[in-house]
């Protein structure tokens, strides 16, 4: 679980930085075929790694709130499998929602150009946009991960045998 989260963070950081800085040009220079593939897929990888990170974070947060080792580990495994299956759908929905602009404020473009000049400002703005986009997708995926873990808990709780605590005697 820990390694999956680290992998999602690393992949997210690399692809976001690569997309934000336009690093596919350097990859193309070293290996044209791989560079072309990288350029075609890096944006999808930004979205998928952000969703994976958000869902894994949600599952891990949920697991911290639950008691019982076997219930926790079984639910985590089930939630990760369900999350992997749901990843394409959540990535698509998350990407759609993350593209919406804030209805007011949250525009750093002018400030960055004013502070660092046009070229550097535009470069930093694209990098910031990619980072914010990635974080917004992860934020949308977080409750999805938590609720997948919750549903797994429900399934395992319901499947557990109902042991009788003793004879019921009503008044």
Partner 1 sequence: MLSLRLVVLFLHVAAVIVALGSSLFSTFALAPVLAEELDPPARLRVARRVIRRLGTIVLTSLAVLVLTGILNVLFVGGVSILLLIKLVLVVVVIGLALYQYGNIGVQIWRLSAAGPSPEIAILQARFRRIGLTVGSIVLLIVYLSLGLTRGPEAIVAAIR
Residue 14 C-beta-side C-alpha neighbours within 13 Å: 15
Q: Tell me whether residue 20 is exposed, middle or buried, using C-beta atoms within 10 angstroms of its C-beta: 0 to 12, 13 to 18, 19 or more.
A: buried
Is 80 near partner 1 (CB under 8 A)?
no
Cβ atoms within 10 Å of 162's Cβ, excluding its own: 6
Is 2 near partner 1 (CB under 8 A)?
no
Closer to partner 1 by Cβ: residue 14 or 155: 155
Q: Which of residues 102-141 bind partner 1 (CB under 8 A)?
A: 102-104, 136, 139-140
Alpha carbon 140 to its chain centroid, in Å, reads 8
Cα 139 from Cα 25, distance rounded (Å): 30
Closer to partner 1 by Cβ: residue 30 or 169: 169
Closer to partner 1 by Cβ: residue 2 or 101: 101
Write out the residues near partner 1 by the rule CB under 8 A. Answer: 61-62, 65-68, 71, 75, 93-94, 96-97, 100-104, 136, 139-140, 142-144, 146-151, 153-154, 157-158, 162-171
């Amino acid at each position: 679980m820990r390694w999956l989260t680290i992998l999602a963070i690393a992949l997210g950081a690399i692809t976001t930085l690569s997309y934000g800085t336009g690093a596919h040009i350097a990859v193309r220079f070293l290996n044209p075929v791989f560079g072309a593939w990288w350029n075609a897929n890096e944006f999808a990888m930004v979205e998928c790694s952000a969703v994976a990170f958000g869902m894994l974070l949600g599952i891990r947060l949920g697991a911290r709130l639950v008691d019982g080792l076997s219930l926790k580990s079984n639910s985590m495994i089930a939630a990760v499998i369900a999350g992997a299956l749901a990843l394409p759908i959540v990535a698509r929905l998350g990407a759609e929602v993350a593209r919406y602009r804030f209805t007011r404020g949250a525009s750093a473009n002018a400030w960055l150009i004013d502070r660092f000049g046009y070229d550097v400002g535009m470069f930093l703005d694209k990098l910031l946009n990619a980072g914010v986009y990635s974080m917004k997708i992860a934020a949308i995926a977080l409750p999805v991960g938590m609720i997948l873990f919750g549903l797994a808990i429900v399934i395992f709780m319901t499947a557990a045998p109902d042991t009788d605590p003793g004879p019921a005697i009503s008044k």
